[in-house]
Amino acid sequence: MTTDNNKVLTKKDLFTVWNRWYFSTELSNSYDRLQALAFCNASSTILRKLYKNDDEFKEALVRHLEFYNSEGTMGGMVQGIVLSMEEENAVSHAVPGQIITGIKTGLMGPLAGIGDTLVWGTIKPIIYALGCTFALQGNPIGGVFPFLFAIITYIAGWFLLKFGYTLGKDAVMKLMKSGTINTVITGASILGLFMMGALSSSYVSVKTPLVFEFENANPIVLQDILDSIVMGMLPLIAIFGIYFAFTKKKVGYNTVIFSVIIISMIASFFGILG
């Protein structure tokens, strides 16, 4: 957005904005504005640097107090793009406030979808699952993985903010047109499915102790019959049952958790599962 001659903000300024945004993204959520206060707070000192005139500064603050909601890590790119546009507006008055608000509002939804898919739907489950694997083996390294997730998102978000600031409002459009985002999402989703499948088969344990005995015949062990059909059939049924409840019946997480606990207790009491 800005030429080198028009640049007012420094790398330190951008880093300040990122830190204030990263550590306060969800702290001021409200039903009418959601993350607007956090967004405005993150860039307030930089806006003061850009707009020496009190009226212009006030106008910029009001502009960024309007409703805003996006994913925190990918939201760093929105911060960078907005700062680039605000800088251009402060220097040349060539970018109307309505344009800044429009770009910001238009980008927050698509980037939130990308961020939720990659950061919270793929990267976090994979990292936490790996941490659980080490923890279940008694390895203290497992306790490091939650911090690893925070470090990765922090670095990625800082890079995205700088990227957005450098390329301005054209940043996201270039990514979308190149197809890079779709490729990354597809690859990450496939990796996530492999990881979840492997972990499910390893850590979901469901067996039945039912044995049917007949005179003058060998007892029929139900678990052996099920294993001869499909190894791990009961864990597979449990996993697909929970998946069906989530995706098709739209059952809430708490309902599924308590249902699993209750069914397990009843089945164990009557000797159906063990």
pTM exceeding 0.95: no
Q: pLDDT value at position 16?
A: 95
d(CA 81, CA 75): 10
Write down the pLDDT at residue 1. 47
Quickly list DSSP for 160-205.
Answer: HHHHHHHHTTHHHHHHHHHTHHHHHHHHHHHHHHHHHHHHHHHH--
pLDDT of 41 reads 94
> Going by C-beta distance under 8 Å and a sequence separation of 6 or more, which residues neighbour residue 86?
43, 46, 47, 50, 60, 95, 100
Give me the pLDDT at residue 48, please.
Answer: 95
Q: What is the pLDDT of residue 173?
A: 54
CA distance 195 to 191: 6
**82/169 Cα distance (integer angstroms):** 8
| The two structure tokens encoding residue 207 | 């067996």
pLDDT tens, position by position, 191-203: 666 666 766 766 7
Structure-token match 């449990």, residue found:
238
Residue-range domain boundaries for the chain: 4-192, 205-269
**Distance in Å from the first CA to the final CA of the chain:** 64
- In the prediction, which pLDDT does 108 show? 87
pLDDT in tens, the chain (274 residues): 444 556 789 999 999 999 999 999 988 888 778 899 999 999 999 999 999 999 999 999 999 999 999 999 999 999 999 999 899 889 888 788 888 888 888 888 888 888 888 898 888 988 988 888 888 888 999 899 989 999 999 999 999 999 889 877 555 556 556 666 567 656 656 766 666 676 676 678 899 999 888 777 788 888 888 888 888 888 888 988 988 888 888 888 889 889 999 999 999 998 998 7
